[in-house]
């Protein structure tokens, strides 16, 4: 399997995991606190929807100008609407339809390019994989749903996190010291300021 296909595969499997956790959210718990500081389960869902919607709009040649979805936003839950699971699934399905092999080699969405003109849509998929993986745990752990991350997804996500994480208010907090001998998932979460 080529590196690009591996990235796409990890992206799809991570989205499957997020979908499974969202499907387990009881109807009255969408506004419960998540493990992501200052965000409810609905907020986390809206944020992940935003990231996928950025990709879909990029495929259509549009810049997605909605500002309440990025990290640190105050009201990303608005993007999840009254039925967050249905909104997530509709956005995912619409985006999957446009993520073609030809599209993967295009430059990444403008906000992710920054000063790196060589970054592609495939690289953005790796970012979405990392982000969705972490937020799957944020939702699951807050609701008592066990989230076990696949090792072959954690490893590249951990490597990416080491390169891109900025610890600013509303994004990632200070690292947590994991217990000696902690597994890869625990060390990954601790690096992101989360206690497993």
CATH of the domain at 85: 1.20.120.450
91 lies in some domain: yes
Domain range for 11: 3-149
Number of domains in the chain: 1
For 84-132, what is each residue's pLDDT tens digit?
999 999 999 999 998 888 899 999 988 787 667 789 999 999 999 999 9
In a domain, 116, yes or no: yes
Averaged pLDDT score across all residues of the chain = 91
Are 173 and 152 spatial neighbours (Cβ–Cβ below 8 Å)? no
The three-point CA angle 163-60-16 to 5° equals 55
Kindly tell me if the per-residue pLDDT of 168 is higher than 70.
no
CA atoms within 13 A on the CB side of 119: 15
Percent of the chain that is helix, strand, coil (3-state, to 5) = 60, 0, 40
């Amino acid at each position: 399997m080529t590196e690009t296909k591996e990235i796409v595969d990890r992206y799809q499997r991570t989205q499957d995991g997020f979908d499974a956790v969202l499907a387990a959210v009881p109807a009255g718990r969408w506004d419960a606190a998540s493990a992501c500081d200052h965000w409810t389960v609905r907020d986390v869902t809206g944020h992940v929807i935003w990231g996928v919607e950025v990709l879909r709009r990029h495929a259509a040649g549009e810049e997605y100008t909605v500002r309440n979805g990025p990290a640190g936003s105050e009201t990303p839950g608005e993007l999840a609407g009254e039925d967050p699971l249905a909104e997530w699934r509709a956005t995912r399905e619409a985006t999957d339809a446009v993520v073609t092999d030809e599209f993967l080699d295009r430059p990444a969405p403008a906000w992710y390019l920054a000063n790196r003109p060589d970054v592609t849509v495939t690289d953005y998929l790796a970012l979405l994989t990392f982000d969705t993986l972490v937020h799957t745990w944020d939702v699951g752990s807050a609701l008592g749903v066990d989230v076990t991350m696949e090792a072959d997804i954690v490893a590249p996500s951990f490597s990416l996190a080491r390169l891109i994480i900025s610890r600013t208010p509303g994004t990632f907090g200070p690292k947590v010291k994991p217990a000696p001998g902690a597994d890869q998932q625990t060390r990954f979460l601790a690096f992101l300021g989360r206690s497993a």
